[in-house]
Amino acid sequence: MKAVCWYGIRDVRVLDVPEPRILNPRDAIVEVTSTTICGSDLHIYDGYVPTMRQGDILGHEFMGRAVEVGSGVSNLRVGDRVVVPFTISCGECFYCQRGMWSLCDNSNPNAWMAEKVFGYTPAGLYGYSHLMGGYAGGQAEYVRVPFADIGPLRIPDGLSDEQVLLISDVLATGYMAAEACDIQPGDTVAVWGCGPVGQMAIRSATHLGAARVIAIDAVPERLEMARQHGGAETINYAERRNVVEALKEMTAGRGPDACIDAVGMEALGRTVDALYDRIKQAVRLETGRPHALREAIQACRKGGTISIAGVYVGLIDKVPMGAAFNKGLTLKMGQTHVQKYMRPLLDLVRGGEIDPSYLFTHTMGLDEAPQAYAMFAAREAGMMKVMLKPEMGAVGDGRRARRERAMEQPVEMPISLPETGRGSPAQRESGARVMARPTQWGAEGTEAPPVPSQAEGTRATIEEDLCEKGLSTPEECAELPAEETPEQLVTGRHLPSQAEGERETVEETLRAREERDAAETERLAAERRLPSQAEGTRETVEEDLCEKGLAPPEECEELPAEGDDRTTLAPHPPSQAEGERETVEEDLRRLDEGAGMEPPPPVVGEADATPPEGEAEFPSVEESVRERVRRVQEEAEEPRDTLDEGLDEEETR
């Protein structure tokens, strides 16, 4: 089949790649009728997303027809027309059960990578790096859809692809961003970024009752669309650089009630090149230029809400946390819980209340994806959203017949080595291609052309997986239990990665642990009854036990005798609740003199605040305050760089 593959920064190619197959009972294969490039794909295109590998299939907004359905999928039939959410979710874990679909515990086969970076893994995503599962994306003729009994939304007849495709991502994302603002009647919502997500956030904010929406961008066509379809007022930051001031003026000095960052980590086109050079050299996770976020925090009214829809992956710098804290802002963010919004949004589209089809300004064949990416990345005049159609152009001819032929051939599916290298150095050096399940995929060691890695995983636990592929040391493999038993799970061993959802619930684990702890406490209590100690001699428990004759003599001998250095430590400086307000230095010196010790050395870096040696004179409270005020005034008179200038300066360093 044809698919759009990532090969490097600003390098995508349309290539022939192996077709996906059903790997699990809950899988389905969807023949893509329409797909599109999302603004967040540009972060990959521009090289901001770590753990991408050459050949990865891109795309996470797509829809089509089910052409194969696994035995575990009972609610989908071959031929059903579906929109597929970009978040892959199991529907059964703690998070899915609570509607936090993008935080699913069970859908990222590379959970261990994400756990290293984020502490815990979020859900797997289509076509969005190996950190997010390494799943093949939807800019292809066919896609494997895991958990197909949960994700795909069946689309009734009479609605065009243009109307419903964006439910898979940008409509849901914009809607969730607006919903997070908790809009009250009369509220003003400011939206940074008038790309597709921004447009949907603007439209949704209006739908949710915002009295005013203010859109911020520098592309006139985008601002025009925000005015026309979203009823927004606009700020063009190319003309009006001080966005925060502009917003204050427009809101009588109070600021917007809520601010949506629909830009994300690649904020501000005008300096993208400088950043992109830096990123190329950077270690994996130095990312992000949160200009929009900084402005949003600065501009938001006190007690307001910042809602972040733009994607962030790594670290960001110079976020005005003090402003956010002292103004009592609420910050909300996250990948979209798409499954939660799909049906309600479909109803809104059906009812004509929201029609996102105005976003589609271009329709092209899937084979034209490289041009489409270039145009979209350049924010080329008038391109808001491009519909890519596999059946258009050269790609689509007779693809069904080709698919049927292809399915009879054995498929070679090389899996790339993991980046952080659990494999032996020799294995990594040789760059050996590892065949997943050789019996299934082809002969071991076959040198294949670089074709996409597709996370077509075996879904064993990650540890098992690595051992199977020869990527772990023998000792590590020996440690693996043959079968996970509940007992092993509660002893603190790393939990298995759960593509199949085999992880016990956290509750089960906790309950087992509690029971074990209770039994242990009971056993200890039976062995030796500890004295109650409410009488408070404040000695250590060990001393207490010795004194009361409750400990064996050997244990008591080990205890330090009185006068041990614990009691000769420097006395704690006096507490100063009496408000004499002497300097700490003075206080310490008096203490030391009393103990017959040397006075303390002057404090480094505070020379002017330390009194000259030998003098007993110290500035009075009034004097020190006056001195401090004078210094602050002096500093205030010095010319200061603006935040922006400060940043530019930093870049040149």
Instruction: Cite the DSSP H helix spans in 242-337.
Output: 243-250, 272-281, 291-299, 321-326
Angle at alpha carbon of residue 267, lines to 265 and 273, rounded to 5°: 100
Closest contact distance (angstroms) between CB of 260 and Zn ion is: 15
Residue span binding Zn ion (CB under 5 A) among the ranges 64-72, 83-91, 282-290, 409-417:
83-91
Which amino acid, one-letter code, is at 547?
Answer: E
Residue span binding Zn ion (CB under 5 A) among the ranges 96-104, 362-370, 511-519, 628-636:
96-104
Residue span binding Zn ion (CB under 5 A) among the ranges 31-39, 317-325, 452-460, 538-546:
31-39
Distances (CA, A) of 269 to 44, 46, 373, 562: 15, 12, 16, 70
> Which residue number, 91 or 470, has a Cβ lying nearer to Zn ion?
91
In angstroms, the CA 183 to CA 210 distance is 6
Residues in the interface with Zn ion (CB under 5 A) total 9
Residue from 565, 305, 390 nearest 36 by CA: 390
Binding to Zn ion in span 467-486, by CB under 5 A: none
> Which residue number, 166 or 435, has a Cβ lying nearer to Zn ion?
166
Which amino acid, one-letter code, is at 151?
Answer: G
Binding to Zn ion in span 289-328, by CB under 5 A: none
- With CB under 5 A as the contact rule, the residue among 3, 30, 58, 90 that binds Zn ion is 90
Closest contact distance (angstroms) between CB of 409 and Zn ion is: 33
Residue span binding Zn ion (CB under 5 A) among the ranges 20-28, 85-93, 188-196, 325-333:
85-93
| Residue 93 touches Zn ion, criterion: CB under 5 A | yes
Locate 68 and state its tokens: 């194969």
201 within 8 A of 174, measured Cβ to Cβ: yes
Residue from 7, 50, 92 nearest 499 by CA: 92
Residue span binding Zn ion (CB under 5 A) among the ranges 87-95, 216-224, 421-429, 434-442:
87-95
Closest contact distance (angstroms) between CB of 131 and Zn ion is: 15
Closest contact distance (angstroms) between CB of 128 and Zn ion is: 8
> Which residue number, 62 or 142, has a Cβ lying nearer to Zn ion?
62
| Residue 149 touches Zn ion, criterion: CB under 5 A | no
CB atoms within 10 A of CB 501: 16
307 within 8 A of 256, measured Cβ to Cβ: no
Q: Any long-range contacts for 234-243 (C-beta under 8 Å, 24+ apart)?
A: 243/216, 243/295, 243/299
| Residue 104 touches Zn ion, criterion: CB under 5 A | yes
168 within 8 A of 86, measured Cβ to Cβ: yes
Locate 271 and state its tokens: 């300096």
Closest contact distance (angstroms) between CB of 501 and Zn ion is: 7
> Which residue number, 213 or 499, has a Cβ lying nearer to Zn ion?
499
Closest contact distance (angstroms) between CB of 502 and Zn ion is: 12
> Which residue number, 169 or 266, has a Cβ lying nearer to Zn ion?
169
| Residue 102 touches Zn ion, criterion: CB under 5 A | no
Distances (CA, A) of 287 to 11, 115, 311, 321: 20, 18, 11, 18
Binding to Zn ion in span 34-63, by CB under 5 A: 38, 40
577 within 8 A of 603, measured Cβ to Cβ: no
- What character string, x for contact with Zn ion (CB under 5 A) and - otherwise, covers 622-641? --------------------
Greatest CA separation for the chain = 98
In angstroms, the CA 386 to CA 161 distance is 12
CB atoms within 10 A of CB 511: 13
> Which residue number, 115 or 182, has a Cβ lying nearer to Zn ion?
115
Residue span binding Zn ion (CB under 5 A) among the ranges 62-70, 135-143, 168-176, 320-328:
168-176
Binding to Zn ion in span 376-395, by CB under 5 A: none
User: How many angstroms from the chain centroid is the CA of residue 72?
Assistant: 30
169 within 8 A of 61, measured Cβ to Cβ: yes
| Residue 96 touches Zn ion, criterion: CB under 5 A | yes
Residue from 159, 153, 164, 172 nearest 34 by CA: 164
> Which residue number, 100 or 235, has a Cβ lying nearer to Zn ion?
100
208 within 8 A of 178, measured Cβ to Cβ: yes
> Which residue number, 90 or 215, has a Cβ lying nearer to Zn ion?
90
In angstroms, the CA 350 to CA 328 distance is 39
| Residue 266 touches Zn ion, criterion: CB under 5 A | no
| Residue 169 touches Zn ion, criterion: CB under 5 A | yes
Residue span binding Zn ion (CB under 5 A) among the ranges 9-17, 100-108, 490-498, 617-625:
100-108
| Residue 388 φ/ψ, nearest 5 degrees | -105, 125
Residue span binding Zn ion (CB under 5 A) among the ranges 30-38, 209-217, 314-322, 404-412:
30-38
> Which residue number, 45 or 441, has a Cβ lying nearer to Zn ion?
45
Binding to Zn ion in span 447-466, by CB under 5 A: none
| Residue 435 touches Zn ion, criterion: CB under 5 A | no
| Residue 162 touches Zn ion, criterion: CB under 5 A | no
Q: Which residues bind Zn ion (CB under 5 A)?
A: 38, 40, 89-90, 93, 96, 104, 106, 169
